[in-house]
Chains A and B, each alone.
Chain A
Amino acid sequence: MTVDRRSMLKGAALSAFAFTVGGATSWLTLREAYAQSVPLNVLTPTERAALEALGETLLPGAREAGIALYVDHQLSVDPGDCLLAARVANVPPPVSNFYRACLGALDRAATAAHGMPFAQLSPEQRNHFVDAMRQKVPEGWTGPPSPFFYLLARMDAVDVVYGTVEGFERLGVPYMPHVSPTSKW
Chain B
Amino acid sequence: MAIPEKVDAVIVGAGPSGLMLAARLSEAGRKVVVLELGPPWEPKDLISSQIWSRRLKWHGANQLEGRNPVAHNFNAGWGVGGSVIHQYANWPRLHAEDFNVHSAFGRGLDWPFSYDVLRPWYDRIQNEVGVSGDHTREVWRPAGAPYPMPPVKVFPHAERVAEGFQKLGMRVSPAPVAINSVPFKGRPACVYDAWCDAGCPIGALVNTFVTYLPEALKHGAEIRPYSNALRVLTNARGDRAHGVEYVDTRTKERQVQMADLVILSAFTSQTPRLMLNSANDKHPNGLSNSNGLVGRYIMTHTGASAFGLFDEDVQNYMGTSAAQLISQDGYAKSSKRDFIGSYTWMIGAASKPNDFTGIANTQVPLFGAALHDYMKRASKGLVKISAVMEALPNADNRIVLSDRKDEYGMPIARIIHSLDEDALKLFAHAREEGLRIMHATAAKEVWAPPGPPALLHFTGGTPMGKSAADSVTDGYGRAHELANLYITGAGLYPTEGAVHPTFTLHALTARTADHLVRNWGTIVA
- A and B bind: yes
Given contacts A163-B354, A168-B353, A178-B193, 14 further A-B contacts (CB under 8 A): A2-B209, A3-B44, A3-B201, A4-B202, A15-B49, A57-B367, A80-B39, A88-B73, A89-B73, A90-B69, A134-B365, A158-B358, A171-B379, A176-B48
A59-B202 in contact (CB<8A) = no
Which A positions have Cβ atoms within 8 angstroms of B? 1-5, 8, 15, 57-61, 79-85, 87-90, 92-93, 127, 130-131, 134, 151, 154-155, 158-159, 162-164, 167-168, 171-181, 183, 185
Q: Is there contact, CB below 8 Å, between B73 and A163?
A: no
Known: A178-B201, A181-B47. A80 touches B38 (CB 8 A): yes
Is the C-beta of B360 less than 8 angstroms from some C-beta in chain A? yes
In the bound complex, do residue B372 and residue A83 qualify as a contact, i.e. CB atoms below 8 Å apart? Answer: no
Chain A residues lying within 8 Å of B195, measured Cβ to Cβ, are 176-178
Distance in Å: Cβ of B4 to nearest Cβ of chain A: 24
Contact with A along B47-82 (1 / 0, CB 8 A): 111111011010111101000010111100010000
Please count how many residues in chain B sit with their CB below 8 Å of the partner chain's CB atoms.
61
B347-379 vs A, Cβ < 8 Å mask (1 yes, 0 no): 000001111101011001101110110011001
The B interface, classified by DSSP as helix, strand, loop or mixed, is loop
Does B396 sit within 8 A of A, measured CB to CB?
no
**Closest Cβ neighbor of A126 among chain B residues:** B368
A173 to B380, CA, bound (A): 8
Residue pair B360, A154 in contact (C-beta under 8 Å): yes
Alpha-carbon distance A130/B45, docked complex (angstroms): 37
Partner of B202, one of A3, A79, A89: A3
In whole angstroms, how far apart are the Cα atoms of A89 and B454 in the complex?
12
Known: A57-B367, A85-B356, A87-B59. A179 touches B44 (CB 8 A): yes
Which residues of B are found within 8 Å of A93, using beta-carbon distances? Answer: 59-61
Whether B210 and A2, one on each chain, are in contact in the complex, defined by CB atoms closer than 8 angstroms, is yes
Q: Which residues of A contact B292 (CB under 8 A)?
A: none
Q: What's the dominant secondary structure at chain A's contact region?
A: loop
Q: Are B317 and A173 in contact (CB under 8 A)?
A: yes
Indicate if B445 sits at the interface (CB-CB under 8 A): no
Task: State the CA gap A158–B74 with chains docked (Å).
Answer: 18
Task: Determine the chain A residues whose CB is within 8 A of the CB of B54 once the complex forms.
Answer: 82-85, 87-88
Q: Which residue of B lies closest to A171 (CB)?
A: B379
CB neighbours (8 Å) of A185 from chain B are 51-52
Q: CA separation between A76 and B39, bound complex, in Å?
A: 19
Indicate if the CB atoms of A87 and B44 lie closer than 8 Å: no
Q: Is the CB of A163 within 8 A of B47?
A: no
A83 touches B73 (CB 8 A): no
Q: Which of A59, A81, A183 has the most CB of B within 10 A?
A: A59
Contact B187 A60 (CB under 8 A): no
Question: What CA separation (Å) do A107 and B124 show in the bound complex?
Answer: 59
CB of B152 closer than 8 Å to a CB of A: no
A79 touches B59 (CB 8 A): yes
A155 touches B354 (CB 8 A): yes
Q: Tell whether A83 pairs with B201 under 8 Å between CB atoms, given A162-B354, A173-B379.
A: no
Any A CB within 8 A of the CB of B43: yes
